[in-house]
Structures are given as structure tokens and as C-alpha cells.
Structure 1
């Protein structure tokens, strides 16, 4: 099974955004630059994550993206489905019915065994992705990632984070 490159980009962006504190955001162009992606390409995937309720988009000159819910509540399956859609990876076209030696439709009352096996395998695969939490990936990276990569990630967040807190009202 081959997933599109957008899945990798989406997971990396979500993992980076998990490092934000408070209600800060990071602009999409900065995320695109960090991963060497076209801003328009990444924006398509960030919009999909936003539509799925994984990210929140904050408009305006100091806006950007942040997680819409805690990383503990985001699974890899959530991200994959947001980017790739919910259709099964395997789509049975019932080619067995197109053969020159095909039988009448009554011979095909049972589901295709290949389709059944593929859907059963996909169910297991989706279950495994559903069990993988974004928070676990981030925790693994912080604990076992190369210290230079962890420092680079933290430096990126520090340089590009945009605070969304309103300035306190002044007393007259």
C-alpha cells in the first residue's frame, strides 16, 4: 500500500504543532519552508486537517495553525483519513465477472474472497494506526530522537511561534 506524500507532511506538521504551548500558532508558509515543500501543496493538506478538526486555522497577520485538540486525542489514522479520505485502499472491481468464461450473476452471490481478505487486512492496519497517538510520536522523538534534531525542532518553534494572547488592557 502506498500513501501519498501528503500523509508524511501532515504528520510532521501536526507533530511540530504539538510542541506549541498555550494558544500559539505557526504560519503555514513557515511549515512549508521547514519541510522543503511548496506552500500551495502543504496548504491543501493543512486545509484537510483543519476540515477534519485536527488543526485549527487562525486568520490574520499573526495567525497560523495549531492543534485543534490535544495530541493525545489525535491518532495517525485521523491524519491519514483527513489527507487520503476514508475510502478503502483496495477497491474490488469484480473483474472475475468480466472473464470471457464468466458465469451467470447467480454464481457470484458470495463476496469476492480477495476483496474480503484485503478488507480484513485493511481493518487490522487501520486499527494499528488508530492505536498510534500523535502524543506518543512526539514523546518518542523527544526521548529517543537525535538531540540535534530535537534542538532544531525546538528552535524552529521558538522562531516561528505566534502568540495569540491579547495584550492586557492598560489601566488609566
Structure 2
């Protein structure tokens, strides 16, 4: 499964917005922080806005802010907002057309490969649903304690 790179960009943007709670940050500024294409990042941020993860304020002093507390935003919320809710593995029931196949069997339920892939995906989604932006922020702050202040200073124009 290949995940849209926008998921990574959106996750990083949400983490950075945690350290900038008092301001709406323009997409161009969020993009500049990582040297990303602003128009493409803006599409990801709009998807997060539609999903209720971010709020958007128009105008010259506008931009994006978290719409919910970081504890209420799971990594899965962001993945689904960017990549959509579809399952990564889709059983096309090729066993139906193979030797001994049966036209009336639902191979999505009986195929052991399909079952294995569904179990893996459920576990993956469960892990992503259990991890929040707040969890990531806390780990960053423990592991790289200067990051929040460096991030704030960069966005204030005092690049470090």
C-alpha cells in the first residue's frame, strides 16, 4: 500500500499548528517551513478542513488552525481525510474464476488471503485510531525539547 505523501505533510502541519495555537497560519507559510509546494499542501489542508480537523479563516490575516483539541485528532482521522476511507486491499475474488471456483461463494469472506489482509488492515487502522496528534506532540517534546520553541520562532520570522 502506498500512502499519499499529503498524509505526511498534513500530520507535520497539524503537529506544528499545536505550537501555534493563537494564530491562523497561511498554507504558504506552512509549506515554506518544509519547502513544500504551497498549492498542493493547501489542497491537503482544505481536506482537513472539510473533515473538521482544521478551521480556515479567509483574508490577509487568515490561514489554518486546529479545529479540535489535539487529543481529539487521531492519526487515522488525518489518513482518512487525505486518502479517503477505502480499504487498502480490495479482494477482487479471483478465486471465483479459478479452477473449482463457485459463482455463488463470497470469496471476500472465505478467501484466506482476503482474511489475512483484512486482519492486517484492521490492526493498522486500530493503531492509527489509537494514536493522536497530542501523543505525537508529547513524544516530540520529550525527544526534541527545543522543537516547539524553534518552530514558534521560525513562524514568528526569527528563523533558527
Q: For residue 102 of structure 1, report the CA deviation from its aligned partner.
A: 4.8
Larger radius of gyration: 1
Question: Structure 1: how far apart are the matches of 2:88 and 2:101?
Answer: 28
64, 86, 101: which is aligned to 1:103?
101
Partner of 1:154 in structure 2? Answer: 152
Partner of 2:113 in structure 1? Answer: 114
Q: Which runs of 5+ in 1 are unaligned?
A: 161-172
For the pair 1:63 / 2:62, whether they are aligned, the reply is yes
Higher RCO (CA < 8 A, seq sep 6+):
1
Query: How many pairs does the alignment contain?
Result: 156
Q: Which runs of 5+ in 2 are unaligned?
A: none
Partner of 1:54 in structure 2? Answer: 53
Residues 29, 105 of structure 1: CA spacing in aligned structure 2 closer, same or farther, 3 A cutoff?
A: same
Q: For residue 35 of structure 1, report the CA deviation from its aligned partner.
A: 1.3
The TM-score, its normalising length taken from structure 1, stands at 0.83
**For 1:64-83, what aligned pairs fall within 5 Å after superposition?**
64-83=63-82
Q: For residue 2 of structure 1, report the CA deviation from its aligned partner.
A: 2.5
Partner of 1:169 in structure 2? Answer: none
The answer to whether the 8 A contact 1:16-1:157 is kept is no
Greater Cα offset, 61-70 or 32-41: 32-41
Q: For residue 109 of structure 1, report the CA deviation from its aligned partner.
A: 4.2
Partner of 1:13 in structure 2? Answer: 13
**Residue 46 of structure 1 aligns to a residue in which SS?**
helix
RMSD of Structure 2 on Structure 1 (CA):
1.8
**Residue 105 of structure 1 aligns to a residue in which SS?**
coil
The TM-score, its normalising length taken from structure 2, stands at 0.89
Q: Deviations over 1:141-170 (max 9, x none)?
A: 1221163x444312123339xxxxxxxxxx
Residues 21, 151 of structure 1: CA spacing in aligned structure 2 closer, same or farther, 3 A cutoff?
A: closer
